[in-house]
Amino acid sequence: MPVNRTPAAARIGRLLSFGLLPARCIVCGAPGHARDLCEACEAALPRNHPACPRCALPLAVEAPACGACLADPPGFSLAAAAWRYEGAIAQLLPRFKFHRDLASGRVLGELAAHRLVDWPGWVGVERVLPVPLHRARLGQRGYNQALELARAFAAPRGLPVDLRSLRRVRATPPQTTLDAAARRRNLRGAFQADPQTGIVLLVDDVITTGATLAEAARTLLRAGAGEVRALAIARAP
């Protein structure tokens, strides 16, 4: 026998089922999945392997370091990215970064933490630091995407997230049109750090050339960090 419900009760029922039932896949829109990403879309994500262990640059074959790291090692000693910046990752990350799609960010952070669970660089890490945004940028965007990801990486390991001791003190123009040397000049003095100790892990959403992470790492090393390592969701080829 059908149950007669008041409009309000029906509405609450709809809200409850919306919250409890599996969501649609954030990539293909297929309904009825236990996670926000369906199995087929998750399996199709472009794994970043093999990659340079030092800077996470995608490589064709496994190697101890890429040519760029051999010629000019970055300030960080190890880096990894869960995926290459292509395919569904190139759709999802901008949604998270620029369009407040926090569901995409949460899913990507959790999946990346899972994917990188065996990364050798976890050993000895004491604190996780998101790459900070300048406060003007933070004001425009309303959130720091790197902080959300740092939380996703740190939580399963019980590591503290440190969002105070590294700051972006200079707003830098967008890097996309600059070559490597110009990016480095552009970033000089962009960060400031409180005194550091031990092994720290920097987290960013995408490693494009590595120039931002390298400048942040240099700042942390100058402030006393014993070693800096880096993690990201994706690495540009």
Which residues of this protein are in contact with Zn ion, per CB under 5 A? Answer: 25, 27-28, 30, 38, 41, 52, 54-55, 57, 66, 69
Closest approach of Cβ 81 to Zn ion, in Å? 11
Q: Rank residues 107 and 113 by Cβ distance to Zn ion and give the closer one.
A: 107
Closest approach of Cβ 38 to Zn ion, in Å? 3
CA dihedral 8, 11, 13, 14 (to 10 degrees): 180
* DSSP symbols for the chain: -PPP--HHHHHHHHHHHHHHS----TTT--S--SSSS-HHHHHTS-B--SB-TTT--B-SS--SS-HHHHHS--SSSEEEEEEESSHHHHHHHHHHHHS--HHHHHHHHHHHHHHTTT-GGGTTEEEEEEPPPPHHHHHHHSS-HHHHHHHHHHGGGTPPB--SSEEE-S----STT--HHHHHHHHTT-EEE----SEEEEEEEEESSSHHHHHHHHHHHHTT-SEEEEEEEEE--
Q: Rank residues 57 and 216 by Cβ distance to Zn ion and give the closer one.
A: 57
End-to-end CA, the chain: 60
Q: Rank residues 12 and 28 by Cβ distance to Zn ion and give the closer one.
A: 28
Closest approach of Cβ 165 to Zn ion, in Å? 26
Closest approach of Cβ 85 to Zn ion, in Å? 16
Q: Rank residues 154 and 213 by Cβ distance to Zn ion and give the closer one.
A: 213
Residues 76/200, Cβ–Cβ less than 8 Å: no
CA–CA separation, 46 and 117 (whole Å): 17
Closest approach of Cβ 57 to Zn ion, in Å? 5
Q: Rank residues 41 and 232 by Cβ distance to Zn ion and give the closer one.
A: 41
Q: Rank residues 41 and 203 by Cβ distance to Zn ion and give the closer one.
A: 41
Closest approach of Cβ 197 to Zn ion, in Å? 26
Q: Rank residues 28 and 117 by Cβ distance to Zn ion and give the closer one.
A: 28
Closest approach of Cβ 52 to Zn ion, in Å? 3
